[in-house]
A and B are shown apart, each in its own frame.
Chain A
Amino acid sequence: MRFLHKYGAPKRFYRLAGRLVPWFAAITVLLFVSGLYLGLYWAPPDYQQGDAYRIMFVHVPNAWMSMMTYVIMAAFAATGYVWNVRLADMLAKASAPLGASFTLTALVTGSLWGKPMWGTWWVWDARLTSELVLFFLYIGYMALQASIDDPQRAARASAILAVIGVINIPIIHYSVYWWHTLHQPASLTVTGQPKIYMTMLIPLIVMSIAFLFFYLTMLLVRVRSEILLRERHSDWVRKLVGAAS
Chain B
Amino acid sequence: MKKQNKRLAFLLIILAGMSLAVWLVLTAFRHNLVFFYSPTQVFEGKAPRHGIFRVGGLVEKGSIKKDGLKTTFTITDLRHSIVVHYKGLLPDLFRAGQGVVVQGQMAAGAPVFFARQVLAKHGANYMPPEVAAELKRSMAAKAQAAES
Contact = CB atoms under 8 A, between A and B. Distances in A.
Interface residues of B, number: 41
Contact of B92 (A47, A117, A179, A184): A117
A159 B38 CA distance: 42
Contacts of B117: 119-120
Given A119-B120, A185-B124, A126 B33 contact: yes
A120 B129 CA distance: 25
Size bracket of the A interface: 35 or more
A118 B91 contact: yes
Interface stretch (B4-12, B60-68, B104-112): B4-12
Interface string B20-56: 0010001000000111111000000000000000001
A52 B122 CA distance: 13
Which one of B36, B126, B132 has the greatest number of beta carbons of chain A within 10 Å? B126
Contacts of B101: 182
Contacts of A199: 128
A82 interface: yes
B127 A182 contact: no
Contacts of A164: 14-15, 18
B126 A166 contact: no
B126 A46 contact: yes
A56 B56 CA distance: 24
A200 B11 contact: no
Contact of A180 (B4, B56, B119, B122): B56
Contact of B14 (A48, A126, A163, A185): A163
A117 B14 contact: no
Contacts of A84: 4
Interface string A70-82: 0000000010011
Contacts of B11: 78, 81-82, 159-160, 163
Interface of B: 4, 7-8, 11, 14-15, 18-19, 22, 26, 33-38, 56, 89-94, 101, 117-133
